[in-house]
Amino acid sequence: MKSCMVQGAKIISTGSATPSVKVSNEQMSSIVDTSDEWIFTRTGIKERRLLTKYGQSVTDLATRASLQAINNISMDPSSIDLIILATSSPNDLFGSASKIQYEIGAVNALAFDITAACSGFVIGVVTAFQFISNGTYENVLVIGADVLSKWVDWSDRSTCILFGDAAGAVIIQSCSSNLNSILNFHLSTDGNYADHLSIAYKEQLDPHPILNLYQGSFQYVSMNGKEVYKFAVSQVPLSIMSCLDKLNMSTEDVDWLLLHQANERIIMAVAEKLSISSNKVISNLSKYGNTSAASIPLALNEVVELNQISRNDIIVIAGFGAGLTWGTIILRW
Ligand code: UT7
């Protein structure tokens, strides 16, 4: 812990983990009435990874992604001050971050979960940034991880073809403010549309005979795809523009556009609205499907490993999804 002062923050390492089991669109068409042609043309997805091993959960993927980020820079896990796990598919409703803290040996870290679906990673990074910039913490591990395969109705073709399981992690470290790489952010929620995308808790009809209270269970993912699509294509460009405007930047200054990997048509429509050319768009959706909170750090780790990003590149990151919540971060790499 450090004393109160304004600090910069930068991403110093990345990691990711995916299950080994690949399920192609052709395989999906043996489960529900669909086709590779429908899935690929509507979404850009070719295959997804599913966590099929008995007893494995989001914690296992998140731990693997975290260890990769830690080992890439030979960091001592005990120097991590805070772990933020963005997930909407925890294996413990009280939170899964503390299990990861134990598994990676981050004995000095506070650990907690954030539930914000596909915007969770962006909100996690912004939260980490607050703790770093006010001088509270120096090293923060932010993980985006989801195993929505456990929450999907595998007989519902309108949702089950979309999702895949994965985890991605970044380590964010304080730095002098002139080296600050998180330049600006913007976050928004419109709860009026919460029902468009949810994993709702449903109460049983019969109450407890003595206490008269109702218990229940969580349902499957339900989504009004058309409405979520329209929301993403209209709100995400506005969020990005407001962030760039505040930095006196234009879309011409953007080197990379990294959006939540939900649908290739959404990604390209947003890029087109912003006049950002397709060769600046980061996309790995075809291989993994929509991995919810994991999609942004998973794609980021991939381009970092491929050495595609150069020092000082401007990266625009934007997440959107259930809530409905959306947000942008502008980074200088
Ligand atoms: O990560 C959180 C954010 N989520 C998103 O961003 C998702 C945003 N929405 C979408 O990506 C798209 O809305 C979808 C890909 C989910 C759906 O695409 P769409 O073009 O909006 O299709 P639709 O839901 O309007 O369905 C069109 C037709 C329907 O048939 P009819 O009524 O026209 O006869 C559906 O029953 O396609 C049918 N359909 C399918 N057909 C074959 C729906 N799912 C499938 C399927 N295979 N898997």
Evaluate if residue 118 carries a pLDDT over 60. yes
Return all residues near 55 (Cβ < 8 A) that are at least 6 apart.
none
State percent of the chain over pLDDT 90.
96
Domains 7-179 and 182-332 share a fold: yes
CATH class label, 182-332: alpha beta
Do 140 and 111 touch, CB atoms closer than 8 A? no
1 pLDDT higher than 90: no
**Residue 182: beta bridge partners?**
331
**Residue 7: band (very low, low, confident or very high) from pLDDT cuts 50, 70, 90:** confident
Tokens for 146?
């989801």
CATH fold group of domain 7-179 = Peroxisomal Thiolase; Chain A, domain 1 (3.40.47)
Q: Where are the domains of the chain?
A: 7-179, 182-332
Rounded average pLDDT over 153-169: 98
Mean pLDDT computed over every residue of the chain: 96
User: Measured from the CB, is residue 228 less than 6 Å from ligand 1?
Assistant: yes
CA of 202 to the centre of ligand 1 (A): 25
* CA–centroid distance, residue 227 to ligand 1 (Å): 11
* Atom from ligand 1 closest to the CA of residue 292: 1
The CB of 161 under 6 Å from ligand 1? The reply is yes
pLDDT at 177: 74
What is the pTM (predicted TM-score) of this model?
Answer: 0.95
Decide: 244 in ligand 1 pocket, CB within 6 A.
no
pLDDT recorded at residue 189: 98
Q: Give kind and range of the element (H or E) at residue 258.
A: strand 256-259
Catalytic annotation, pick one of 180, 260, 263, 301:
260
On the question of pLDDT at 2 being above 60, the answer is: no
Which residues pair with residue 15 across a beta bridge?
A: 169
CA atoms within 13 Å, Cβ hemisphere of 259? 27
pLDDT tens, residue by residue, 259-296:
999 999 999 999 999 999 999 999 999 999 999 999 99
Q: How confident is the model at residue 5 (pLDDT cuts 50, 70, 90)?
A: low
